[in-house]
Amino acid sequence: MHYRLIAPKTAYCLLILSFVAFSKSSSAQDGKALFQSNCASCHNPVRVVIGPALKGVTDRVPDNKLLHSWIKNNQTVLKSGNKYFTDLYNQYSKVPMNTFPGLTDPDIDAILKYVNSYTVATPGNNGTPTATESDSTLLYGILTIILAVIMLTLLQVNSNLKKLSDDKEGIPSAEPIPFYRNKAYITLLILVLFVIGGYFLVEGAIGLGRNKGYQPVQPIFYSHKVHAGTNQISCLYCHGGAWESKQASVPSLNICMNCHAAINEYKGDKIYREDGSEVNGTEEIQKLYSYTGYDPKSGKYTQAGRPIEWIKIHNLPDYVFFSHAQHIRAGKVQCQTCHGPIQQMSEVRQFADLSMSWCVNCHRTTKVDFPDSAGNTGNKFYNIYEKFHKELKPGDSITVEKIGGTECQKCHY
Ligand code: HEC
Ligand code: HEC
Ligand code: HEC
Ligand code: HEC
Ligand code: HEC
Ligand code: HEC
Q: Is the pLDDT of residue 27 over 50?
A: no
**CB of 380 shorter than 6 A to ligand 5:** no
* Residue of 332, 363, 377 to mutate, ligand 5, most atoms within 8 A of C-beta: 363
Supply the pLDDT for residue 373.
56
CB atoms within 10 A of CB 271: 18
- Separation of 342 CA from ligand 2 center, angstroms? 8
**What pLDDT is attached to residue 237?**
92
Whether the CB of 352 sits within 6 Å of ligand 4 = no
Give the range with max mean pLDDT: 16-20, 136-140, 335-339, 374-378: 335-339
Mean pLDDT is highest, among 158-162, 202-206, 283-287, for 283-287
Closest ligand 2 atom, residue 234 Cα: 5
Burial class (CB in 10 A: 0-12, 13-18, 19+), 219: middle
- Calculate how far, in angstroms, residue 326's C-alpha sits from the geometric centre of ligand 5: 7
Report pLDDT digits (tens) over 334-389. 899 999 889 888 889 898 889 999 999 999 888 877 666 555 566 666 666 666 66
Which residue type, as a one-letter code, is found at position 411? C
Residue 284 has pLDDT above 90, yes or no: yes
Q: What pLDDT score was predicted for residue 399? A: 81
For 54-92, the pLDDT digits (tens) are 988 988 888 899 999 999 999 889 988 888 999 999 888
Please tell me the predicted confidence (pLDDT) of residue 1: 45
The bound ligand whose nearest atom lies closest to the alpha carbon of 343 is 2
- Tell how far CA 337 is from the center of its chain: 10
For residues 369 and 46, what is the distance between their CA atoms, to the nearest angstrom? 31
Is residue 303's pLDDT more than 70? yes
What is the 255 CA–ligand 3 centroid distance (Å)?
A: 10
Asked whether the beta carbons of 131 and 51 are under 8 A apart, the reply is no
C-alpha 395 – ligand 5 centre gap (Å): 22
Tell me what the mean pLDDT of segment 293-314 comes to.
87
Instruction: Point out the ligand 1 atom lying closest to the alpha carbon of residue 94.
Output: 17
Q: Region 194-210: what's the mean pLDDT?
A: 86
Q: How far apart are CA 356 and CA 408, in angstroms?
A: 10
Output the DSSP codes for 342-381: GGG-SS----S---HHHHHHHHHHPBP----TTS-SS-GG
* CA-nearest residue, atom 30 of ligand 4: 248
| Class in CATH terms, 1-174 | mainly alpha
Residue-wise pLDDT for 214-266, tens only, equals 888 899 999 999 999 888 899 999 998 898 889 998 998 889 998 998 888 89
Q: Supply the DSSP string of 125-183, one letter for each residue.
A: STT---BHHHHHHHHHHHHHHHHHHHHHHHHHHHHHHHHHHHHHHT---PPPPPGGG-H
pLDDT at 100 over 80: yes
CA of 408 to the centre of ligand 2 (A): 30
CB of 134 shorter than 6 A to ligand 5? no
Dist. CA 153 → ligand 2 center (Å) = 61
Average pLDDT over residues 173-188: 78
pLDDT of residue 320: 93
* DSSP secondary structure letter of residue 300: E
Average pLDDT, the chain: 81
Kindly report which listed range (30-44, 264-278, 388-402) carries the lowest average pLDDT score.
388-402
Which residue has a Cα nearest atom 35 of ligand 6?
408
CB of 310 within 6 A of ligand 2: the answer is yes
pLDDT at position 109 is 92
